[in-house]
Structure 1
Amino acid sequence: MEERDVELITALVIKAMEGSKEKESYAVPIGVSARHVHLTGEHVEILFGKGYELTRKKELMGGQFASNEQVTIVGYKLRAMENVRILGPVRKKSQVEISATDAIKLGIKAPVRDSGDIENSAPITIVGPKGAIYLKEGCIIAKRHIHMAPSDARAAGVKNGEVVSVKAENVRGTTFNHVTIRVDESYTLEMHIDTDEANAAGIITGDTALIYKS
Structure 2
Amino acid sequence: MDNSNVALITKMVLETVEKQKSTENIGYIVPVGVSARHVHLTQEHVEVLFGPGYQLTKKKELMGGQYASNELVTIVGLKLRAIENVRILGPVRRKSQVEISATDAIRLGVKAPIRESGNTAGSAAIAVVGPKGALYLDEGCIIAKRHIHMSPKDAMAAGVHDGDTVSVKADNERGTVFNHVQIRVDDSFTLEMHIDTDEANAAKIATGDTVRIIR
Same fold (TM over 0.5): yes
Q: Superposition RMSD on alpha carbons, in Å?
A: 2.0
Query: Shift of the alpha carbon at 1:15?
Result: 7.8
Structure 1: 5+ residue runs without aligned partners? Answer: none
Partner-residue secondary structure (3-state), 1:173: coil
1:1-214 equivalences in 2 (<5 Å): 22-23=25-26, 25-213=27-215
Query: Shift of the alpha carbon at 1:21?
Result: 5.8
Please give the per-residue CA displacement for 1:152-208, whole angstroms capped at 9, x wherever unaligned.
Answer: 111111110000001000011100000000000000000000000000001110100
Partner-residue secondary structure (3-state), 1:77: coil
Q: Deviating runs (4+, > 3 A) in structure 1?
A: 7-23
**Residues 98, 140 of structure 2: 8 Å contact kept:** yes
Please give the per-residue CA displacement for 1:69-120, whole angstroms capped at 9, x wherever unaligned.
Answer: 0000000221000000000000000000000000000001000000000000
| Structure 1 residues 157 and 10, CA gap change in structure 2 (3 angstroms) | farther
Percent identity over paired residues: 70
Partner-residue secondary structure (3-state), 1:101: helix
Please give the TM-score of this superposition, normalised by the length of structure 1: 0.91
Q: Distance in 1 between matches of 2:23 and 2:161?
A: 20
Q: Distance in 2 between matches of 1:20 and 1:174?
A: 17
| Structure 1 residues 21 and 201, CA gap change in structure 2 (3 angstroms) | closer
Structure 2: 5+ residue runs without aligned partners? Answer: none
Please give the TM-score of this superposition, normalised by the length of structure 2: 0.90
| Structure 1 residues 50 and 27, CA gap change in structure 2 (3 angstroms) | same
